A and B are shown apart, each in its own frame.
Chain A
Amino acid sequence: MITNGKFGKYGGIFVPELIIPALEELEEAFLRYKDDEKFVEELEFYLREFAGRPTSLYHAKNLSKKFGCKVYLKREDMLHTGAHKINNTLGQGLLAKYMGKTRLIAETGAGQHGIATAVVGAMLSIPTEVYMGSEDVERQKLNVFRMELSGSNVIPVETGSKTLKDAINEAFRDWISNVENTHYLIGSTMGPHPYPTMVKHFQSVIGKEAKEKILQKEEELPDAVIACVGGGSNAMGIFSGFVDDTAVDLIGVEGGGEGVETKRTGATLCKGTEGILHGSLSFVLQDNDGQISEAHSVSAGLDYPGVGPEHAYLKVTGRVNYVAVTNKEALRGFELLSKYEGIIPALESSHAVAYAEKYANIEGNKGKTIIINLSGRGDKDMFLVAKEMRVDV
């Protein structure tokens, strides 16, 4: 590898030997093309014309009044396919094309990353296969249908817990067997180097736009930036714009599930310990032996027992404050934003909304300026939320 891909001691390339040459090839291509004029131009074109960038930084007046803070929303929910995921799938999809790869594979939990990969595969005419735990296939039939409509083949994964982490295992196995023609399009800032760095790069457009706009509108930096953290890509994307501005509070909100103190939680940074999962050293939810635990969150996108290694670094260095919000609190965030602003957020993003309210209630925080990264919209969660609210739809 040309660079070591470590964040402090976190990150690295803890993968079977078979994958190393593919990682080397990918790193080399990423470093070559990321600032290549033609590549950048083409990516910007697709981000603008296909995905709908730039997204607005919206002043949520009603919520601001309710919270007693000035609340801005970074509207990644307005992007094509409904979430920030497409920033990354466009970047990696295009890179795969430049590398001459003829097949894309991806993992997906709820299906957001799967759909974002599927539409990019269709648009770039690269055949795409998406691994999805069979439990998730069952729970997210509509998203499976959307991927299939976009021409992708969805492969149900029957191994292990039959959820996201097993879909990742299976995608890795596929890649090991097909490294020559296949690009594995990982959906978050996780996995072995160069993925955490590369996915952050493709998501950093969020932070860049947010910073530019807040400076235009407020003529100063915000007091806090709040984002939900699953694997960590939307958070790394927006944090990257502010990480050097140490006066800005950066807050990562994890899926607390039924409570960080319970077994049913997805709060990897708040509760987990150092460990190696899916190619990098980071924090993981695990038992005393290092066997990986199952995560739980009402939002499938935060339901992962690992987290990107740069978040581990930002945690131990104290630059980012990581907190957890329970399922119940997230649902309140969901309802608040829907009701006060007419914006129905993804359940993942609802965690950030819910924490923003808590933040506003901390003594001394009234009147502060907050940016919430609204990573996605809630269309995908309608049935689930209706069920939680005991409404028949």
Chain B
Amino acid sequence: MKPFKNDSNNPNQIQSYQEMFQEVKNKGEGAFIPFTVAGDPDFETSIEIVRQYVDNGADALEIGFPFSDPVADGPSVQAADIRSLNSGMTTDKCFEFISRIREFTSIPIGILVYYNLIYKMGLDEFYNKAKNAGINGILAADLPPEEAGDAVNMASQYDLGQIFMVAQTTTNERISEIVKMCTGFLYVVAVMGITGARSDIKKSTVDLIKRVKSHSDLPIAVGFGISKPEHVKDVIQSGSDGAIVASAIINIITQNLDDLDNAKQEIGSFCKELKGSTKNKIDG
């Protein structure tokens, strides 16, 4: 195990997922992991939005690379993807985006991509660039373990995490298989469906968290449909190590496209609130 480092403000030392999850656990908290699409609505604003995340309690970042046909995502994220692409984002600019974020934070950065972006660039080049940009883990939303052999090998070659999703529909048998290939953390899909801000967290999500926990020693982060501080609190209390919030934050961007300063401000205070609800975790 790497020595524990408590220097998350030193951007030269990239914190690993393991270190981060351990650190928040030691504080009796869960990890707050906000998501955004790189370049939404434009490169510079997007950087500032990520800065809001970092300044307001993010323990790790989940950054989406925009894709024209994001089948695993709902309307909010798809609209963000389109805004980002229209603003001129490319895969290389996404890596540049990560490098820029690395100038001001050392917390773990995971990227969420669709596999065609990786395949088109070539796995070797993509993973190499990801490593150089300072990325910790790669999650390809449409790459199940059956197709992920090459990606997993490449990730281990570049010492990157290959992150996988598990869902309510995933059998215990599959969870065990996925855990074998997964490094970093397991992404647990909270609701049956696609990303989008939902109004309540179902009991089935709580059950799923327990089920995954009993099959895996990897840290887990719950995402999809977490839109309120209470949701964050619920999933952390239910035993999740972290909570990923996407659509609810993106909706703030969508609603404030004509007043981006206001968007940044609102995002900042929303993040503070979300992070607040990861605290005082009841263990057991």
Contact = CB atoms under 8 A, between A and B. Distances in A.
B115 A14 contact: yes
A172 interface: yes
Interface stretch (B7-15, B98-106, B159-167, B215-223): B159-167
Which of A17, A159, A276, A277 has its CB near the most chain B CB atoms (within 10 A)?
A17
A18 B192 contact: yes
Interface string B75-101: 100110010010000110000000000
A169 B69 contact: yes
B170 A290 contact: no
B158 interface: no
Nearest to A25: B169
A178 B191 CA distance: 11
B142 A14 contact: yes
Interface in A273-297: 273-279, 281, 284, 286, 288-292
Contacts of A227: none
Nearest to A172: B71
A289 B117 contact: yes
A291 B82 CA distance: 11
A292 B143 contact: no
A53 interface: no
Interface string A159-180: 1100001100100110011110
B257 interface: no
Interface string A10-24: 001111111011100
B152 interface: no
Contacts of A292: 68-69, 116
B169 A290 contact: no
Interface residues of B, number: 41
A382 interface: no
B78 A159 contact: yes
Contact of A17 (B82, B91, B121, B166): B166
B208 to A, nearest CB: 12
Contacts of B74: 173
B71 to A, nearest CB: 5
Contact of A16 (B71, B78, B120, B171): B71
B120 A290 contact: yes
Contacts of A166: 69
B117 A160 contact: no
Q: Considering residues A20, A166, A275, A288, which has the most beta carbons from chain B within 10 angstroms of its beta carbon?
A: A20
B144 A173 contact: no
Contacts of A284: 116
A165 B69 CA distance: 8
A1 interface: yes
Contact of B67 (A1, A165, A291): A291
A273 B71 CA distance: 21
Which among B114, B120, B141, B166 has the highest number of chain A CB atoms within 10 Å?
B120
B119 interface: yes
B27 to A, nearest CB: 31
B14 to A, nearest CB: 26
Contact of B165 (A16, A177, A273): A16
Interface string A175-211: 0111100000000000000000000000000000000
- Most interface-central of A15, A275, A288 (chain B CB within 10 A): A15
Contacts of B189: 17-18
Nearest to B189: A18
Nearest to B178: A17
B193 interface: yes
B270 to A, nearest CB: 25
A176 B117 contact: no
Nearest to A17: B165
B258 interface: no
Given A172-B71, A290-B119, A291-B68, A179 B192 contact: yes
Nearest to A21: B169
B174 interface: yes
Contacts of B75: 159
Interface string B108-137: 000000111101110000000000000000
A279 B72 CA distance: 11
A277 B146 contact: no
Interface of A: 1, 4, 12-18, 20-22, 159-160, 165-166, 169, 172-173, 176-179, 273-279, 281, 284, 286, 288-292
18 contacts: A15-B71, A17-B164, A17-B166, A17-B167, A17-B169, A18-B165, A18-B167, A160-B68, A173-B194, A176-B194, A177-B193, A275-B120, A276-B116, A278-B71, A279-B142, A290-B91, A290-B116, A291-B67
Given A18-B193, A173-B193, A290-B116, 9 more contacts: A14-B115, A15-B71, A16-B72, A17-B165, A18-B72, A22-B169, A160-B68, A276-B115, A279-B142
